[in-house]
Amino acid sequence: MPRKTMIEAIRDAMDTMMERDDNVVVFGEDVGFFGGVFRCTHGLQAKYGKTRCFDAPISEGGIVGAAIGMAAYGLKPCVEIQFADYVYPAYDQIVSEAARLRYRSNGGFTCPIVIRMPAGGGIFGGQTHSQSPEALFTHVSGLKVVVPSNPHDAKGLLIAALEDPDPVIFLEPKRLYNGPFDGHHDRPVTPWSKHELGEVPDGHYTVPLGKAIKRREGKQLTVLAYGTMVYVAEAAAEENGIDAEIIDLRTLLPLDLETIVESVTKTGRCVIVHEATLTSGFGAELAALVQQHCFYNLEAPVARVTGWDTPYPHAQEWDYFPGPARVGRAFLETLEG
């Protein structure tokens, strides 16, 4: 099976859907002729023409607002926000419009759009190219929120998102674009060509929204992670000799609560890992759900390992990033607890 980078897998998903469905259109800043700053849309304009894949003005609110109008017409827009850090001018359009259109019009108008955006740090992007704003979207009724962790899932989830009848926020961990990253920034990078999850089937397939997957079976504790943190958790478990069960959530909204509860009920311990800031982060929701549904099985407090509650710094990136050392310490504390 061909191995691809996450960038190629994401492009493959859009290509597959543009081929199958004339109503799929792709646009955003620099996505047309140039093919996107991360090259995710490279070649799509040449293949499908510039009315199917085109450059947009630097106006995130305009990009999402126009996409909503197109979706109301009957198209399936897949728009790119160049960095998740730039999505805030579009926040009103996403929260007040895309998310509520079906509801407020009683189904008269719907909004099947996909909003892709590279998120997360680890690339020395400083405070404007590193953020993980997933919790700002999981708090909004009417949205779906997806975070893939590998090329195989990225393609299948993006196709599922493009076939979904409701708006989907698709956060792409940019540190994973070219290979899995375990948080050891001082070691050589592993490319996806050397990882089995770099295997991406040709043609159409989906990874369903709302389904988590166990990346590692284990008995001692459950790790809830998504995106880059899946690999950091794997490294931390390996390095500390811990038999951790690592769940890659893949979709945050709707959440696969069943898989989470089944695992924590078994292990009795739970560590939540995300790169976003701690306070009111998605981990808070996960912790609340775990204590509600697994209270009598818990043998230690639910732990959270996250970015600190500061803006994402530049020089101090690796002090901020919840790397394998911090995650490993949380594992050990949770096992003692």
Partner 1 sequence: MSDDSPNEFGPLSLHVPEPAVRPGGEPDFSNVNIPEAGSVRRPPVDANPEEIRDLAFSIIRVLNRDGEAVGPWAGELTDEQLVEGLRHMMTLRTFDARMQIAQRQGKTSFYMQHLGEEAVSCAFRKALSPGDMNFPTYRQAGLLIADDYPMVEMMCQIYSNEKDPLKGRQLPIMYSSKEHGFFSISGNLATQYIQAVGWAMASAIKNDTKIAAGWIGDGSTAESDFHAALVFASTYKAPVVLNIVNNQWAISTFQGIARGGAGTFAARGLGFGMPALRVDGNDYLAVFAVAKWAIERARRNLGPTVIEYVTYRAGAHSTSDDPSAYRPKTESDAWPLGDPVMRLKNHLIGRGVWSEERHTQAEAEILDTVITAQKEAESFGTLHAGGKPSARDMFEGVYEEMPPHLRRQRQQAGV
Alpha helices, H only, 97-190: 101-104, 134-138, 151-162
| Nearer residue to partner 1 within complex by CB, 184 or 293 | 293
Least distance (Å) between residue 144 CB and partner 1 = 8
| Nearer residue to partner 1 within complex by CB, 144 or 304 | 144
| Nearer residue to partner 1 within complex by CB, 33 or 103 | 103
Question: What does the binding site for partner 1 look like in residue numbers (CB under 8 A)?
Answer: 25, 51-52, 56-57, 59, 61-62, 65-70, 72-75, 89, 92-93, 96-97, 101-110, 141-142, 144, 165-166, 210, 253-255, 257-258
Q: Active-site residues: which are they?
A: 129
> DSSP letter string over 255-290?
T-HHHHHHHHHHHS-EEEEEEEESTT-HHHHHHHHH
**Contact (CB, 8 A) for 238 and 215:** no
Which neighbouring-strand residues pair with 304? 272
Least distance (Å) between residue 272 CB and partner 1 = 18
- Residue 254, preceding peptide bond in cis (omega within 30° of 0): yes
**Beta-carbon contacts of residue 186 (< 8 Å; ≥ 6 apart):** none
Least distance (Å) between residue 106 CB and partner 1 = 5
- Three-state DSSP class for residue 180: coil
Least distance (Å) between residue 300 CB and partner 1 = 26
**Contact (CB, 8 A) for 118 and 175:** no
Rounded Cα distance, 80 and 116, in Å: 5
| Nearer residue to partner 1 within complex by CB, 109 or 308 | 109
